[in-house]
Structure 1
């Protein structure tokens, strides 16, 4: 069975999507539609912008979404048995499996980026990568810290990202190192994604998500929040709202996809980060780029 997987923030690169834009009229039309919806020429930044330009949240999230979704739409033999996306990538996955219309999802991604940016500016916060500790140990140490710090991304065994207020994350990093973590280092991010500090963003996004039409998908999505195959549009909608403050359970999602018969994981979008994570979660899995 084929599982199509969609990357999240951090996979962007200068020139992303240019081959798709130049390669077909259908893809070009979607990019131009996106420029109109967003109210600025995101294609100019994607194709020619600097790494700094691409890092801006209002650009990064729609750029990765557009690259993934337009690539998926350009594939001749796109017949997914299941889909999943890492954080932002879940929106790409939901267009790919027919739950969301392209233009509706792009508007949500843009609203999500702006709401997250506002939440980041409201309170100084950060994230840190923790390598070489068991998940349960990371959870236990976060719980010991006085202040907001939580596991945010379960990327693969031995690789977790924690998220929260800056002093709490720094204190947690010290505890992780003392407990034997190979590394516990702050990440160059603007805020505490997938933590309770994203609550203001979640509330803003909830209104937009609730006003959007969710359709019956062509195949299940393994959502970050639930890690299980979901085909009910109402449940997908509810989980998508919770996603901003809940952890990305990527390890558990991939394990469940494998248990349900996934043998090939095809990454759709910029980079190969998810293929590397899948291999660390299940060595026997076949991985490829779309």
Structure 2
């Protein structure tokens, strides 16, 4: 059973998607449509932009989404998922790839999501930190004991958890976690506290857009970040998509659930190899590779 997985923010690189644009007329069509929808030439930034330009949230999220979705489109009939999942932003890519959302609606939501998150980041000084080498339960316990807002945000793989919240609370949690034996507790170069209660303004803003968007029934189960289990109906997928911005990304749990439900092979659809790397740390026995066209 093939499971297709879609990466999130951080997988971008200069030149991303150019090979698809040059090789496939279908890809060219979708990229040009994206430029029209967004109102600026995202292809120029993706194909020729600097790493700095690609790091702008309003660019990063649509760029990764476009690379993933267009790659899935050009795979054509060979794209036959038994199940899908996406890491954070990647969840929207997955939903378009299996027809829950149209390409146009998906891109509109990704763009609104990026701008809403950017706005929430500017409202309050906040950050994230990667914690390496501790049990999840211990990290959760420390976060709960620290004054201020700091929560577990990304369960990436066993021994790698990202925390998110107010700058002082995150720094304090890092200090305590180092004392408790973390191999690493390092602040990440991000604009704000994604997947934490501090994203509530962005969640509210995006909720209205999601509610107004048509969600179709999926062609296969979706393992959403919020639930970490197979979801098969459009209404639940829609509700989970609203909850996602302030809830943690249960990536380890999603992958484990997919394997328990019969996944025998994982294929990463999008830029980079981040998810393949995490797969090897979650369960080395199940093969993981990148999508090839």
Q: Please give the range of the TM-score, normalised by the shorter of the 2 chains.
A: over 0.9
Q: How does 1:43-82 map to 2 (within 5 A)?
A: 43-76=43-76, 77-82=78-83
TM-score, structure 1 normalization: 1.00
What runs of 5+ residues in structure 2 fail to find an aligned partner?
A: none
Number of the residue aligned with 2:189: 188
Number of the residue aligned with 2:18: 18
d(CA) in 2 for partners of 1:159, 1:285: 19
- Is 1:148 matched with 2:152? no
d(CA) in 2 for partners of 1:12, 1:131: 23
Q: How does 1:33-182 map to 2 (within 5 A)?
A: 33-76=33-76, 77-182=78-183
Number of the residue aligned with 2:261: 260
Residue 97 of structure 1 deviates from its aligned partner by 1.3
Residue 46 of structure 1 deviates from its aligned partner by 0.2
- Spell out, residue by residue over 1:5-42, the C-alpha distance to the aligned partner (whole angstroms, 9 max, x if none): 00000000000000111111111000000000000000
- Spell out, residue by residue over 1:26-85, the C-alpha distance to the aligned partner (whole angstroms, 9 max, x if none): 110000000000000000000000000000000000000000000000004000000000
Q: Which secondary structure does the structure 2 equivalent of 1:160 belong to?
A: strand
Q: Which secondary structure does the structure 1 equivalent of 2:194 belong to?
A: coil
d(CA) in 2 for partners of 1:257, 1:276: 17
How many residue pairs end up in the alignment? 290
Segments ≥4 residues shifted beyond 3 Å: none
d(CA) in 1 for partners of 2:25, 2:275: 29
d(CA) in 2 for partners of 1:33, 1:72: 16
- Spell out, residue by residue over 1:142-201, the C-alpha distance to the aligned partner (whole angstroms, 9 max, x if none): 001000000000000000000000000000000100110000000000000000000000
Residue 283 of structure 1 deviates from its aligned partner by 1.2
Residue 135 of structure 1 deviates from its aligned partner by 0.3
- Spell out, residue by residue over 1:239-277, the C-alpha distance to the aligned partner (whole angstroms, 9 max, x if none): 000000000000000000000000100000000000111
d(CA) in 1 for partners of 2:281, 2:72: 25
Q: Which secondary structure does the structure 2 equivalent of 1:75 belong to?
A: helix
Number of the residue aligned with 2:286: 285
d(CA) in 2 for partners of 1:118, 1:5: 28
d(CA) in 2 for partners of 1:67, 1:248: 21
Number of the residue aligned with 1:234: 235
TM-score, structure 2 normalization: 0.99
Residue 96 of structure 1 deviates from its aligned partner by 1.1
Residue 102 of structure 1 deviates from its aligned partner by 0.5
d(CA) in 2 for partners of 1:266, 1:241: 26
Question: In terms of mean alpha carbon deviation, does 194-203 or 279-288 score higher?
Answer: 279-288
Q: Which secondary structure does the structure 1 equivalent of 2:64 belong to?
A: helix
